[in-house]
A and B are shown apart, each in its own frame.
Chain A
């Protein structure tokens, strides 16, 4: 799920950046430091949309660096247990398949794939129904439900299922949408 929230961060700036472009340099450094990172609480910080407030700078003893508390608005992405997501399949093997929804990596084990789908090995490994009508392979889009999430410094991992109603393949990679 996406959120548009306000976060705060203390930015340290070297005195050589002081001058006319101080605020721009601060914002540029903020974007470089923060966009693309992950936190357990907020999830994946996708993009900074604006700066709400830059507080007064505090000179640090001994180093000369200055710390500015910055409040900024950003779009974050965080998967939740029970959430329904759409993802693109990246790898299929006998244990299940791996899919990606943006920065989130999801694993759907074959225990959570409907029983009527069988694994077929070969050049393009896939899961197919017995009548061949539904096929999950690399690049397929699937709708899945999140069963569990785990966040580390730069990545989010999830366990997913497609065993419920209305879950499964959205489109075939070969067909036009």
Chain B
């Protein structure tokens, strides 16, 4: 066998012919760097293979080579008992807002670090050159530290590369977790879709953590959906949430009970199930997506059970009450279909349109109606409709004395 000095193809040839195009064509062209085959140096098409610009801007790889690298890497990773974890940035690990979107109420965030409340001192950052502020999600550093023992981690964001690199510096100042594994919008092969085609890991060993399901259309089974993190007021408006933001309430997600500690436990569980020694098949044949799906099914089941429990508990709140409504519903409106009627029934009360001795409460806004006067005469409770709503939101029967309706002074 002869290896050609010029192109180092190391291909078996009986007769060496330097510069022969025949030899060049035998090279499998595993990839391209700056427009040249990385194995034989031949000039290649600009659109060859898949671009891996996040590793090096001039790098492209052929699909065979990508598979080969994935298989090789998986062996090494499984030996270290690790899988792959892809992390989204915005609303998953952190929340960023432009400086000009910071509202007056959030003005205290502009203070010097020493003047900030304790929980913000190490998690709120001002990125002057990008004119924005970033708040890291509570527990994020512990999360990354723990997860790095179980996973090789990637950042995958729909933001632009400079933003992604800046956020990586905040999350990983020691460059321990991500190194060059930072994928940004420009690396996506399809617009508005995130894909695992640019990840050098086999799909059956990849888990994804993201707050948006739509961008992972082709890989829903790899996805663990995260609760969105909204710190600044700017995104509350953007997502149509009509409440005050965490920054305006001067509050934050719980460090111990929030979304990140919860999802860490899920990841640890999936990892444990995947590497279960009791299973007989090879690690390489296992699929983390199946573990993820069964984990999701269990979560759904436990959620349904919880919902059922809540429903039963709710029916206890007004369980011994018999309620009649007066001048609350519009005339000719079927009473049983009114929200207030249904709400009272949800809380366990019995509702009626007719008065009788078993009635305990008359609900009205007006003390002058016939039914209202009957209630006062018969020593029954005459309460405002807000009594029912308050009982619902506080999960307990409110004291009627706080909701009495009084006769108007003539």
List chain A positions with a Cβ less than 8 A from chain B: 81-82, 91, 93-96, 98, 105, 107, 109, 111-112, 121, 123, 145, 147-150, 157-159, 161, 163-164
Contacts and interface: CB of A to CB of B under 8 A. Distances in A.
Contact of B39 (A81, A112, A121): A112
Contacts of B35: 150, 157
B147 to A, nearest CB: 17
Contacts of B7: 147
Interface residues of B, number: 30
A148 B42 contact: yes
Contacts of A105: 34
Interface of B: 5-8, 10, 30-31, 33-43, 55-56, 58-59, 61, 69, 72-73, 76, 176, 180, 200
A107 B31 CA distance: 11
Contact of A150 (B31, B36, B40, B59): B36
Given A111-B39, A112-B8, 8 more contacts: A82-B5, A95-B31, A98-B56, A109-B30, A123-B176, A148-B36, A159-B38, A163-B8
A149 to B, nearest CB: 8
A94 B41 CA distance: 19
16 contacts: A82-B6, A95-B31, A95-B69, A107-B34, A107-B59, A109-B31, A109-B33, A109-B39, A147-B6, A147-B36, A148-B37, A148-B40, A157-B58, A158-B34, A159-B37, A163-B10
A147 B40 contact: yes
A63 B76 CA distance: 67
A93 B181 CA distance: 11
Contacts of B31: 95, 109
Given A147-B8, A147-B41, A163-B10, A91 B180 contact: yes
Interface centre among A123, A150, A159 (most CB of B within 10 A): A159
Interface secondary structure of A, over-half rule: strand
A107 B59 CA distance: 10
Contact of B34 (A96, A123, A157): A157
Contacts of A112: 8, 38-39
Nearest to B31: A109
Contacts of B39: 109, 111-112
A159 B33 contact: yes
Contacts of B200: 94
Contacts of B30: 109, 111
Contacts of B5: 82, 164
A107 B38 contact: yes
Contacts of A93: 55, 180
Nearest to A155: B34
A81 B42 CA distance: 11
Nearest to A123: B176
A158 B72 CA distance: 26
Nearest to A107: B33
Contact of B38 (A94, A109, A145, A149): A109
Contact of A95 (B41, B59, B176): B59
Interface centre among B34, B39, B58, B180 (most CB of A within 10 A): B34
A81 B35 CA distance: 15
A157 B34 CA distance: 6
A150 B34 contact: yes
A96 B38 contact: yes
A91 B33 CA distance: 15
A145 B10 CA distance: 15
Contacts of A145: 8
Nearest to B80: A121
A111 B38 contact: yes
A121 to B, nearest CB: 7
B182 to A, nearest CB: 13
Nearest to B200: A94
A176 B10 CA distance: 35
A159 B41 contact: yes
A54 B8 CA distance: 47
Nearest to B33: A107
A147 B42 CA distance: 9
Contact of A107 (B6, B56, B69): B56
Nearest to B28: A111
A164 B6 CA distance: 11
A94 B152 CA distance: 13
A94 B69 contact: yes
Nearest to B30: A111
A91 B43 CA distance: 24
Nearest first, the 4 closest Cβ-Cβ pairs linking A and B are A148-B41, A157-B34, A147-B41, A109-B38
A126 B73 CA distance: 14
Interface centre among B7, B33, B72, B176 (most CB of A within 10 A): B33
Nearest to A120: B76
